[in-house]
Amino acid sequence: MARSNDEVAALFAEYADLISITGGDAFRARVYEKAARAIGGHHADVSGLDVKGLQEIPNVGKSIAEKIVEYFGTGQVSAVEELRARIPAGVRRLTAIPTLGPKKAMAIYQELGISSIEELADAIHGERLRDLKGFGPKTEENILHGIALLQSSGDRVMLDAATDVAEGIVAQLSNVTGCLRCAYAGSLRRVRETIGDVDVLAAAEDSEPLMRAFTGLPETAEVVAHGTTKTSIRTTKGLAVDLRVVPPDSWGAALQYFTGSKAHNIRTRELAVHRGLKLSEYGLFDVESGERIVSATEEDVYARLGLPWIPPTLREDRGEVQAGLRGELPELVQESDVRGDLHTHTDLTDGLAPLEEMVAAAAERGHAYYAITDHAPNLSMQRMTDERMLAQRERVRELDEEYGRRGRRSGMRLLHGVELNIDPDGEVDWPDEFLAEFDLCVASVHSHFNQAPDAMTQRFLRACENPYVNIIGHPTTRIIGKRPGVDADLDAVFAACARTGTALEINSHPDRLDLNDEHILRAKRHGAKFAIDSDAHSTLHLAHLRYGVGTAQRGWLTTDDVINTWPLTRLRRFLRKGRTGTV
Query: Hey, what's the torsion of the CAs at 119, 121, 123, 128, to 10 degrees?
Result: 150
Q: How confident is the model at residue 152 (pLDDT cuts 50, 70, 90)?
A: low
Percentage of the residues of the chain whose pLDDT score is greater than 70 = 96
pLDDT for 582 equals: 41
Tens-digit pLDDT profile for residues 297-330: 999 999 999 999 999 999 999 999 999 999 999 9
Buried b (16+ CB within 10 A) or exposed e, 426-458: bebbbeeeebeebbbbbbbbbeebebeeeebbb
Q: Report the pLDDT value the prediction gives residue 1, as an integer from 0 to 100.
A: 41
pLDDT mean over 196-208: 96
pLDDT digits (tens, 9 = 90+) for 392-425: 999 999 999 999 876 545 689 999 999 999 999 9
- Answer yes or no: are the C-beta atoms of 208 and 228 closer than 8 Å: yes
Residues 136-150 have a mean pLDDT of 80
Instruction: State how far the Cα of 253 lies from the Cα of 246, in Å rounded to an integer.
Output: 10
3-state SS, 23-59, equals CCCHHHHHHHHHHHHHHHCCCCCHHHCCHHHHCCCCC
Dihedral of CA atoms 126, 132, 137, 138 in degrees, nearest 10, equals -140
Q: Is the pLDDT of residue 554 over 90?
A: yes
Label residues 511-547 b or e (16+ Cβ within 10 Å = b).
bbbbbbbebbbebbebebbbbbbbbbbbbbbbbbbbb
Helix (H, G, I), strand (E, B), or coil: what is residue 394?
Answer: helix
Q: How far is 296 from 284, CA to CA, in rounded Å?
A: 10
Domains and CATH numbers, the chain: 3-153 (1.10.150.110), 157-246 (3.30.460.10), 257-326 (3.30.210.10), 338-575 (3.20.20.140)
Sequence-distant contacts of 573-582: CB under 8 A, at least 24 apart = 574/470, 574/501, 574/503, 574/529, 575/439, 575/440, 575/470, 577/467, 577/468, 577/469, 577/470, 577/500, 577/501, 577/502, 578/467, 578/501, 579/467, 579/468
Rounded to whole angstroms, the Cα distance separating 117 from 567 reads: 52
Per-residue pLDDT, 192: 97
Alpha helices in 405-544 (DSSP H): 432-435, 453-465, 490-500, 517-525
Question: So what's the pLDDT on residue 580?
Answer: 54
Nearest alpha carbon to residue 160 among 472, 492, 544: 544
Res 119: pLDDT: 85
Lowest-confidence region among 143-152, 184-193, 374-383? 143-152
**Residue scoring higher pLDDT (483 or 319):** 319
Runs of H (alpha helix) within 305-411: 320-326, 355-364, 386-404
Coil, strand, or helix at residue 102?
Answer: helix
Q: Are 272 and 284 in contact (CB under 8 A)?
A: yes
- DSSP reduced 3-state for 489: coil
Query: Which of the pair, 316 or 56, is modelled with greater confidence?
Result: 316
On the question of pLDDT at 472 being above 80, the answer is yes
Determine the pLDDT at residue 41: 77
Q: Are 563 and 571 in contact (CB under 8 A)?
A: yes
Which residue, among 84, 132, 123, has the nearest Cα to 104 in the 3D structure? 132
Question: Is residue 420 within 8 Å of 384, Cβ to Cβ?
Answer: no
- CB count within 10 Å of CB 361 equals 21
Burial class (CB in 10 A: 0-12, 13-18, 19+), 257: buried
Q: 94, 120 in Cβ contact below 8 A?
A: yes
The whole-angstrom separation of Cα 49 and Cα 69 is 8
Query: How far apart are the C-alpha atoms of 251 and 166, rounded to whole Å?
Result: 18
**Rounded CA separation 204/185 (Å):** 17
- For residue range 162-199, list pLDDT tens digits in order: 999 999 999 999 999 999 999 999 999 999 999 999 99
Give the C-alpha distances (Å, rounded to integers) separating 52 from 6, 61, 245, 514: 20, 9, 47, 38
Each as own residue / partner, the long-range contacts of residues 85-90 (CB below 8 Å, 24 or more positions apart, any chain) are 86/22, 87/18, 87/21, 87/22, 88/115, 89/115, 90/114, 90/115, 90/116
Q: Which of 24-28, 149-153, 465-469 has the highest mean pLDDT?
A: 465-469
171 Cβ contact list (under 8 Å, min separation 6): none
Pick from 140, 168, 314: which is nearest to 237 by CA?
168
Mean pLDDT taken over the chain: 91
Q: Judge whether residue 471 has pLDDT over 90.
A: yes
CB distance 177 to 260 below 8 Å = no
2 confidence band (pLDDT: 50, 70, 90):
very low
Q: What is the pTM of this model?
A: 0.85
Q: CB of 372 within 8 A of CB of 415?
A: yes
Q: How far apart are CA 87 and CA 108, in angstroms?
A: 13
- Among 211, 219, 212, smallest CA distance to 244 is for 211
Q: How far is CA 93 from CA 21, 84, 366, in A?
A: 12, 12, 45
Which are the contacts of 256, defined by CB distance < 8 A and separation ≥ 6?
A: 265, 268, 298, 301, 302
Determine how many CB atoms are found less than 10 A away from the CB of residue 122.
12
